[in-house]
Structure 1
């Protein structure tokens, strides 16, 4: 299955997002990392913050690792939502991305009550701290 990913840079974000349909994952490179690259099967350590994304705007924050410990997971193993597996792949340590994730690549029609309603588009800011193979 081919997934189309829109990649945007902050200076042209509005034009880029307008060109992408809402059913596609959108990736904004906030800061390009210079360290090791995130590949399938690698254990990643991340910081993240998640918001609802409504009407083209950042909405209510529903989660963040910033107040506590970073989050660890294995890339490509289905341990996180599909939008994370796709949107983080290829990042390098030290990088920061914003991921705008449509419902079908997040929690879909079921949502994740009580914080994430059904059919919610999500915005995550993710920072890659470490890659371990």
Structure 2
């Protein structure tokens, strides 16, 4: 049941949130508002992330982990979708990104990820580290 809690909270919080489309074609909606300073280029952040196909099939998740992933925004450490989606987030904020294939391209793909798929990525900003 513990592993379903974050998913249940996201479903409960997602009602009525506005979908925003960026110039790159990334779509996102804020599922839970955060607080404090906004993350931006040059910030190292700790995040929890779940990546899935639009049908709900989970490809990757670290939500059940006690260790968030560290990402340098603008440092080519994440896909373009995640990097762009993190910009402007506040601590505790949860966003759901809908990322077209050209924003989630990687040099090498895990066997379970199709390179031409639109992916849904849920990100929770755990903290912003000092520059």
Q: Is TM > 0.5 for Structure 1 vs Structure 2?
A: yes
List, as ranges, runs of 4+ consecutive aligned residues in structure 1 with deviation greater than 2 Å.
Answer: none
User: In 2 relative to 1, CA 43–12 (structure 1 residues): closer, same or farther, beyond 3 Å?
Assistant: closer
* Aligned residue number for residue 80 of structure 2: 82
* Aligned residue number for residue 4 of structure 1: none
TM-score calculated relative to the size of structure 1: 0.76
* Aligned residue number for residue 125 of structure 2: 128
Three-state SS of the structure 2 residue aligned to 1:87 is helix
Three-state SS of the structure 2 residue aligned to 1:36 is strand
Q: Which runs of 5+ in 1 are unaligned?
A: 1-8
* Aligned residue number for residue 27 of structure 2: 26
Count of aligned pairs between the two proteins = 115
Three-state SS of the structure 1 residue aligned to 2:126 is strand
Q: Which runs of 5+ in 2 are unaligned?
A: 1-13
Question: Aligned pair 1:48/2:49, yes or no?
Answer: yes
Deviations 1:74-133 (A, max 9, x none): 00111100011111100000100000000000027x771312112011101100010012
